[in-house]
Amino acid sequence: MCGIWALFGSDECLSVQCTSAMRIAHRGPDAFRFENVNGFTNCCFGFHRLAIVDQLYGMQPLRIKKFPFLWLCYNGEIYNHRTLSKEFDFDHQTKVDGEILLHLYDRFGIQKMASLLDGVFAFILLDTANRKVFLGRDTYGVRPLFKFLTDDGFLAVCSEAKGLTDITRATASPANIVALLPGHFEAFDLKQSGKVQSVQMEPFHCCTKEPAHAVYDTVERLPTSMKETVKGNIRALFENSVRKRLMAQRRIGCLLSGGLDSSLVAATLVKLAKEEKLQYPIQTFSIGSEDSPDVLAARKVAAHIGSEHHEVNFTAEEGIQVVEEVIYHLETYDITTVRASVGMYLISKYIKEKSESVVIFSGEGSDELTQGYLYFHKAPTPKAAAEDSVRLLKELYLFDVLRADRTTAAHGLELRVPFLDHRLTAYYLSLPEEMRTPKHGVEKHLLRDSFKDLNLIPDEILWRRKEAFSDGMMSVKKSWYVCLQEHLESMVNDDQMEKASKTFPHNPPATKEAYYFRQVFEKHYPGQAEWLSHYWMPRWTNASDPSARTLAIYEPDKDSTLQAS
Q: Residues 253-286: pLDDT tens digits?
A: 999 999 999 999 999 999 999 999 999 999 999 9
Which pLDDT does position 433 carry in this prediction? 98
Could you give the CA distance from residue 257 to residue 457 in angstroms, rounded to a whole number?
13
Tens of pLDDT along 434-446?
Answer: 999 999 999 999 9
Which pLDDT does position 562 carry in this prediction? 36
pLDDT(469) > 70? no
Could you give the CA distance from residue 137 to residue 114 in angstroms, rounded to a whole number?
9
- Rounded percentage of the chain residues whose pLDDT exceeds 70: 92
pLDDT(188) > 60? yes
Kindly tell me the sign of the dihedral angle through the C-alpha atoms of 449, 454, 457, 460.
positive
Kindly tell me the sign of the dihedral angle through the C-alpha atoms of 298, 300, 304, 307.
positive
The answer to whether 179 touches 194, Cβ cutoff 8 Å, is no
Which pLDDT does position 50 carry in this prediction? 82
Which pLDDT does position 219 carry in this prediction? 73
Which pLDDT does position 515 carry in this prediction? 98
Name the percent of the chain in helix, strand, coil, to the closest 5: 40, 15, 40
Show Cβ contacts of residue 55 under 8 Å, excluding neighbours closer than 6 positions: 249
CA of 145: how far to CAs of 37, 210, 414, in Å?
Answer: 21, 24, 16
How large is the average pLDDT for residues 501-518? Answer: 97
97 labelled binding-site residue: yes
How far is CA 468 from its chain centroid?
Answer: 17
207 carries an active-site annotation: no
Which pLDDT does position 547 carry in this prediction? 74
471 labelled binding-site residue: no
Using left for φ > 0, alpha for ψ between -120 and 50, and beta otherwise, residue 159 falls in alpha
Which pLDDT does position 14 carry in this prediction? 87
Q: What is the pTM of this model?
A: 0.94
Which pLDDT does position 472 carry in this prediction? 64
Which pLDDT does position 41 carry in this prediction? 86
How large is the average pLDDT for residues 335-352? Answer: 97
pLDDT(57) > 80? no
Could you give the CA distance from residue 474 to residue 467 in angstroms, rounded to a whole number?
11
Which pLDDT does position 467 carry in this prediction? 62
Could you give the CA distance from residue 521 to residue 523 in angstroms, rounded to a whole number?
5
136 labelled binding-site residue: no
355 labelled binding-site residue: no
559 labelled binding-site residue: no
Higher pLDDT, 480 or 438: 438
How large is the average pLDDT for residues 363-387? Answer: 97
Higher pLDDT, 221 or 24: 24
CA of 277: how far to CAs of 53, 222, 282, 301, in Å?
Answer: 18, 28, 11, 21
Q: Label each residue of 399-418 as H, E or C.
A: CHHHHHHHHHHCCCCEEECH
pLDDT(178) > 80? yes
pLDDT(462) > 90? yes
Which pLDDT does position 554 carry in this prediction? 59
Local confidence band at 481 (pLDDT 50, 70, 90 cut-offs): confident
Which pLDDT does position 312 carry in this prediction? 96
Angle between helices 316-330 and 512-524 (to 10 degrees): 50
Element (H, E) at 349: helix 335-354
Q: Mean of the per-residue pLDDT values for the chain?
A: 92
Reduced to 3 states, what is the DSSP secondary structure of residue 436? helix
Closest CA to 390 of 404, 407, 374, 370: 370
Which pLDDT does position 565 carry in this prediction? 28
Query: What is the DSSP pairing of strand 252-255 with strand 283-288?
Result: parallel
Local confidence band at 171 (pLDDT 50, 70, 90 cut-offs): confident
Q: Which of 2, 73, 158, 207 is catalytic?
A: 2
pLDDT(532) > 90? yes
Element (H, E) at 184: strand 184-190
